């Protein structure tokens, strides 16, 4: 993985105003109001870097990443079951990536476009953990949040194929980096990718589900590599 990281030669400089806190920071008493400190401390011990579209990020036990820009798709496989990868979420600016310590779920983090990151690793990771207040609570909250999202993804397998495709399409369309047009949200994603993310491997059933979504006016494919999402997107 290290070879896939393109490090910036300059020292890390991260804007607190441009990097929003993860939602769970504001909901966790030990972390509330501490995001600026986390960013400043991570900037002191870390370095900015980028990864290309399609790169799979697999953090080690001494790695912490903060997304500064771009979209990272998270998939997970429960090692205690023989299952296929589940689409968990699409990470955005401000989200934290670490290696889960207490779970049997094997998470993969894949860049959907060029992704910019703040990386704290190696000996600097321990120094960061020692320097930032309630670091253990932050790492634990990050893992628990990801596990909760994985649980939602696992539960979605009980839904029909149309609903599963809609769930994935909506998640991708709600990402803040996705461009908005007058008639909807333009998402760069092929039908094949959507089917794989949604766990729909029967192409005939998948084609029928796409027709239902297009007839409902929710998703309209423009060629093969992108679609227009016409559902509601919060402003």
Same domain, 186 and 88: no
Structural domain ending residue among the three candidates 125, 156, 187: 156
Same domain, 110 and 165: no
Same domain, 34 and 148: yes
What CATH number is attached to the domain comprising 220?
A: 1.10.10.10
Q: Please state, in angstroms and rounded to a whole number, the distance separating the CA atoms of residues 40 and 18.
A: 13
Same domain, 151 and 177: no
Same domain, 40 and 147: yes
pTM check: above 0.85: yes
Structural domain ending residue among the three candidates 101, 132, 156: 156
Same domain, 16 and 101: yes
Residue 216 is assigned to a structural domain of this protein: yes
Q: Please state, in angstroms and rounded to a whole number, the distance separating the CA atoms of residues 165 and 215.
A: 14
Same domain, 108 and 167: no
Same domain, 31 and 117: yes
224 close to 191: Cβ distance less than 8 angstroms: yes
Same domain, 61 and 139: yes
Residue 80 has pLDDT above 80, yes or no: no
Q: How many domains does the chain have?
A: 2
Q: pLDDT tens digits for 133-184?
A: 999 999 999 999 999 999 999 999 899 999 999 999 999 999 999 988 788 8
* pLDDT for position 67: 96
Residue 50 is assigned to a structural domain of this protein: yes
88 close to 75: Cβ distance less than 8 angstroms: yes
Same domain, 123 and 12: yes
Structural domain ending residue among the three candidates 108, 127, 156: 156
Range of the domain at 206: 161-229
Residues in the chain: 235
Least confident segment among 7-16, 18-27, 157-166 = 7-16
Residue 43 is assigned to a structural domain of this protein: yes
* Chain mean position to CA 212: 27
Same domain, 216 and 173: yes
What CATH number is attached to the domain comprising 107?
A: 2.60.120.10
pLDDT, mean of residues 38-47: 93
Residue 235 is assigned to a structural domain of this protein: no
CB neighbour burial string for 222-234, b if at least 16 within 10 angstroms, e if fewer? eeeeebbbbbeee
Same domain, 136 and 195: no
State whether residue 35 is helix, strand or coil: helix
* pLDDT for position 46: 93
Residue 4 has pLDDT above 80, yes or no: no
């Amino acid at each position: 993985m290290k070879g896939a990281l393109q490090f910036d030669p300059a020292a890390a400089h991260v804007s607190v105003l441009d990097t929003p806190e993860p939602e769970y920071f504001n909901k966790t008493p030990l972390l509330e109001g501490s995001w600026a400190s986390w960013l400043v401390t991570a900037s002191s011990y870390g370095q900015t870097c980028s990864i290309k579209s399609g790169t799979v990020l697999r953090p080690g036990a001494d790695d912490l990443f903060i997304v500064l820009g771009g979209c990272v798709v998270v998939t997970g496989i429960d090692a205690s079951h023989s299952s296929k990868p589940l689409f968990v979420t699409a990470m955005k600016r401000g989200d934290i990536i670490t290696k889960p310590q207490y779970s049997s779920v094997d998470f993969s983090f894949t860049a959907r476009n060029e992704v910019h990151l703040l990386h704290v690793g190696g000996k600097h990771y321990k120094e960061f953990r020692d320097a930032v207040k309630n670091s253990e609570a932050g790492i634990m909250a990050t893992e628990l949040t990801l596990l909760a999202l994985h649980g939602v993804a696992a539960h979605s397998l009980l839904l029909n194929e149309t609903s599963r495709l809609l769930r994935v399409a909506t998640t991708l369309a709600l990402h803040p980096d996705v461009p908005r047009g007058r008639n909807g949200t333009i998402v760069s994603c092929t039908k094949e990718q959507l089917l794989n993310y949604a766990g729909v491997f029967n192409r005939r059933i998948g084609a029928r589900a796409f027709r239902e979504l297009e007839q409902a006016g929710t998703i309209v494919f423009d060629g093969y590599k992108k679609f227009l999402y016409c559902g509601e997107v919060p402003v």
